[in-house]
Amino acid sequence: MTEEVRNDGLHPNHPGKGCNTTLIAVESVDGNPEMGGFLVFLPSGATKQVRWRQVRPIQPTLDAAKEFTTKLVDSLLKADTPEARADVNGTNWTSVAAAVQRIILDWNDGIQQRIGARMAQLVRDSAANGRRH
């Protein structure tokens, strides 16, 4: 699993400074189903991005959600600014972890559908090849 956490400042879709922490699932720009992630809009106006590339569903989802959430908190603590400290103290991180888990579960569903479609195609191809012999 590859992840990146970075601070982009005020993102164009940010709900605004002073608003509650908000998460939005994001997809690959080029439609790569193996890539997933989310944006975190923080009350200070900061935006964090978390992304991964994975060919299989992420399991266990709760552990992954906790790991991503911990990395978010760590990145804010490392920033060591008054705004970052306010974001850490003013965010319900249990709710963030639950939202992250929901994003992972939804992403896993997409990967499972892709795997199922590929397996069905392989079965059809194998059956068609068997009838030719």
pLDDT of residue 9: 53
Distance of CA 133 to the CA centre of its chain: 46
Average pLDDT of span 110-116 = 89
pLDDT of residue 16: 66
pLDDT of residue 13: 63
Average pLDDT of span 118-130 = 86
pLDDT of residue 133: 57
Distance of CA 61 to the CA centre of its chain: 11
User: Is residue 41, in this structure, part of any structural domain at all?
Assistant: yes
pLDDT of residue 96: 97
User: Is residue 31, in this structure, part of any structural domain at all?
Assistant: yes
User: Is residue 92, in this structure, part of any structural domain at all?
Assistant: yes
Q: Could you say which DSSP state residue 8 is in?
A: -
Domain span including residue 98:
6-132
pLDDT of residue 6: 47
Q: For the chain, how many structural domains are there in total?
A: 1
User: Is residue 42, in this structure, part of any structural domain at all?
Assistant: yes
- C-alpha separations of 25 from 8, 51, 100 in Å: 16, 10, 9
Q: What ranges make up the beta strands (E) of the chain?
A: 6-7, 22-27, 35-41, 47-53
At residue 4 the predicted structure's pLDDT band, cuts being 50, 70 and 90, is very low
User: Is residue 1, in this structure, part of any structural domain at all?
Assistant: no
**How does pLDDT run across 14-61, given as a tens digit for each residue?**
666 778 899 999 988 898 889 999 999 999 888 899 999 999 999 999
User: Is residue 21, in this structure, part of any structural domain at all?
Assistant: yes
For residue 29, how many other CB atoms are within 10 A of its CB?
A: 7
CB contact set of 7 (below 8 Å; sequence gap of 6+)? 46, 47, 48, 75, 79
